[in-house]
């Protein structure tokens, strides 16, 4: 039960841009360029002038990038 709760909370964690940059290794401009082209998860609004990314979506994107690089 505790593991399920921990997993659910992780999936609902919102990351701020600097955290996303640190996890992905991408620069701010690259993140927004890829969002525009549909190749990176879009942020969610968390306030009038604030956005964040859902951690589970970022983790899934990272996993997909790893899988793509392993197939090449």
**What is the C-alpha to C-alpha distance for residues 34 and 41, in angstroms, rounded to an integer?**
8
CATH topology of domain 13-71: Recoverin; domain 1 (1.10.238)
Nearest to 15 by CA among 7, 5, 24: 24
Residue 12 has pLDDT above 90, yes or no: no
| Domain spans of the chain, in order of start | 13-71
- Per residue, what are the HEC states of the chain? CHHHHHHHHHHCCEECHHHHHHHHCCCHHHHHHHHHHCCCCCCEEEECCEEEEEHHHHHHHHHHHHHHHHHC
Structure confidence by residue, pLDDT tens digits, 28-47: 999 999 999 999 999 999 99
Mean per-residue pLDDT, 9-37:
93
Structure confidence by residue, pLDDT tens digits, 50-63: 999 999 999 999 99
What was the pLDDT predicted at 40?
98
């Amino acid at each position: 039960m505790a593991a399920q709760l921990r997993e659910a909370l992780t999936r609902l964690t919102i990351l701020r841009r600097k955290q996303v940059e640190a996890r992905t290794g991408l620069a701010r401009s690259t993140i927004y360029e890829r969002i525009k082209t549909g190749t990176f998860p879009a942020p969610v609004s968390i306030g009038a002038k604030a956005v964040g990314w859902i951690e589970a979506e970022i983790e899934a994107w990272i996993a997909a990038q790893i899988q793509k690089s392993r197939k090449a």
